[in-house]
Chain A
Amino acid sequence: MSEPALLEVRDVHVRFRGGGGAVARAVDGVDLAVGHGEVLALVGESGCGKTTLARAILGLERPVEGEVRYEGAPLVYRTDALRRYRRSVQMIFQDPSGALNPRQTIYEAVAEGLRIQKVAGAEEPLVADALGRAGLRPPERFFALYPYEVSGGQRQRVVIAGAMVLKPRLLVADEPVSSLDASVRGEILQLMLGLVHETGISILVVTHDLGLAWNIADRVAVMYLGRIVEQGTTEELLDAPRHPYTQALLSVVPEKRGLAQQILQGEAPDPTRVPAGCRFHPRCPLVASGEAKRLGIEERCRGEDLALRPVSGAAAGSAHVAACHAVG
């Protein structure tokens, strides 16, 4: 590929200082790229660092190591440069009610971004166009309404219109539908896919929901304790997962049928105490069952950290990678 990806994350680390001086390695060396017109799902459980990574991509967190590159150039952490950047890269949050000011009309909510960015030209046609694209038609009917006067699904459409009004190139959507009812969820996901087809926008969707990934994503990256542990096309990853963590996650979602359940014990581990070796080994079914020992890799699982590597048996040209000593 000669053309650079729209967005590139190179070996990004974000750390937080917690209580008692402990350092949380929230994002611990992530490489990721989002292509033009691509939908990438970043999947993981709470505490895995996916929201921190999204914030780093938006320039809201400054990596202590590594860099975020947009159209081939690293982000510049200066107020004016970041403001320009955020015109191209917009964020959608989980809860549309929290994202909207209850005292602002829908028109004002959508126009706000235009004003912050000091976009020249007539404002009203832009607002109307954005609302229409977000499926709120006729847009004029919604101008004077307040958020509480429309349904939850319509509120999320208003949030999407507010992001799209600036004609961004990348949308970072953090759990965009998890607070919505199932039937509404499908409608919003359809809208997002439609935007990709119509405008060529790229979407990075941060979610815990693997069914959502199957519904809209071209590629999936699975994050565990600050690292991407597996990445590939949606079909590769969800039809033939190779990392034991991805396999376990898939086995417990009711949307995936016919897999024996592998329930991992304990909860999301602590980023202030990242285990040595493969960071997943304390919960890994391969280690617990003795399979890792049989394969002769247990010592490496416990002692040797590892990067993503191509999985064996993948088709030529495949970019399916996993960070597991048993893979590749």
Chain B
Amino acid sequence: MGAAGAVAGLEWTDAEVRSRTPWQLFWERFREDRVAMVALGFVAFEVLVALFAPLIVHAFAHPPNAQYPGALDPVFGTPTGPSRRFLFGVDPVGEDVFSRVLFGARVSLEVALIATALSVTFGVVFGMVAGYYRGAVDTVISRLIDVTLAFPILLLALGIASACSLGGGCAGGLIKPGLGTVIVAIVVINWTYIGRVIRGQVLSLREKEFVEAARASGAGDVSILFREILPNLVAPIVVYSTLVIPQNILLEAALSYLGVGINPPQASWGEMIAEATPIFNTAWWYFTFPGAALVLTVLAFNLLGDGVRDALDPRLDQS
């Protein structure tokens, strides 16, 4: 981020603390936010747990897709609750809920990272192009964003996901059912938000003196976009990304809950919650543990996002 910092310095640093980079400044502000630090700690913990899920499960539990019919009631087939052998109980086919919650974390984080990265990339590129070139290009991209946003999010995602979740997938087999479909559905919808924010920022940035100076010294459009404007967009991009992660986790859970998300037998919190809801009376553990994992994860990412925004936006801090 060295290059970015040098230019961004014009915007972010003030005369007395010139010796600190904007990221040092950010970190100092962020470190003082206790809630955000706890959230960061939880997210870090979760990432570790997800990364080492196979090892943890190997040591303390059972493979996530292994079925233990012996753990079901032999007369009624109902699952049994938390025990020494199955820390979080078992589900209706005798799978270890503990292992599945751990592996579900992998799915949630994968979706969170990949879908967020992709939607931010598309959003930034289209937003910059629209804001910089204005005119016809802007009209086309902005109307596309308006139209996409006019669809109810969940219904659009549901439509895309269910169209791609049957047979060999959609787009000529390019998009396979399962994780890929979920990510595509999320990206198609979510790039629009950041696209719109970025376009607004670029509209004002392109009129700034340093852009004019660059243009006067003969810099091309690409160079201006990426060397002059993009570094100034780092703050909104970071803020927006952290805020969109929990949304994406929830959207994946919702799609899996509705049966068009992650393919069985892969574990997904949304799918577990969907299966657990009708039998909550008899198997509270099946609903409670994935539900708690989902709530805590989303909460942690939300708080983390808030903290990042506060630390990056001095104006907000002053008011």
> Is B a genuine binding partner of A?
no
